[in-house]
Amino acid sequence: MFDAGVSVALVASDRPCRALEVATNARIEAVLIDRADFGGFTKVFDREAYSAELTRTLADHDIDLVAMAGFGTIVTATFHSAYPGRVLNTHPSLLPAFKGWHAVRAALEAGVSETGCTVHVATVELDDGPILAQRRVAVLADDTEETLHERIKEVERRLYPLVVGRVMASLDEGFEPVSVAGTLEES
């Protein structure tokens, strides 16, 4: 996002990660809202309290549009209600195929000849919101989960900032993201 010139007001993460360091180095405020403080990755994880804290943090920073990438916490309706149609997500498959955290592995296991990445509006339903853009990536005969995922990320790093920029422009004009950004095909 930084390299593409997208205006970033805040970077928030659900666990310690490199994104926080990158943001700090770019002089962008970074905040860790650690899952560990809400039960971590256990059965006692308080998803509702976590979602409420994330919502409060973003509201305190006057965030208008949320662009998730690698954010591994599924948030509740509390969060989505605060940002209706203004939470974007990127996913490493051509949705609706291969939803969930292990999409690249699932594509390889299914033996598909191509997969890709999707930018969509995130909703309460996992990987189910309106699709804003997709790009295809061929699956090579010698691909591993790691090599395929890295090639998908290369495409995603070009596509996601483009879509986020278009959505930001549409919000400035008073439109909702799902009404202005059609599916972008690979050219």
* pLDDT > 70? residue 14: yes
* pLDDT > 90? residue 36: yes
pLDDT at residue number 71: 87
Which residue intervals of the chain are DSSP H helices?
A: 18-25, 47-60, 77-82, 103-110, 145-172, 177-180
Mean pLDDT of the chain: 92
What band does 2 get if pLDDT is binned at 50, 70 and 90? confident
Return the H-helix or E-strand segment holding 13.
strand 10-13
* pLDDT > 70? residue 19: yes
Do 152 and 116 touch, CB atoms closer than 8 A? Answer: yes
* pLDDT > 60? residue 122: yes
**Mean pLDDT across 68-94:** 94
The distance from CA 130 to its chain's CA centroid, rounded to whole angstroms, is 13
**Mean pLDDT across 119-131:** 95
Q: Which of 80, 91, 120, 149 is catalytic?
A: 91
**Mean pLDDT across 22-50:** 95
Domain boundaries, the chain: 1-67, 84-187
Q: Which residue has the higher pLDDT, 169 or 146?
A: 146
**Mean pLDDT across 118-146:** 96
pLDDT at residue number 180: 37
**Mean pLDDT across 118-126:** 95
The closest of 41, 55, 78, 66 to 164, measured between CA atoms, is 66
Strand 87-91 versus strand 114-121 pairing type? antiparallel
What number does CATH give the domain 84-187? Answer: 3.40.50.170
What band does 175 get if pLDDT is binned at 50, 70 and 90? low
**Mean pLDDT across 139-160:** 97
* pLDDT > 90? residue 3: no
**Mean pLDDT across 88-104:** 96
Based on the residue annotation, tell me whether 91 is a catalytic residue of this protein: yes
* pLDDT > 70? residue 176: no
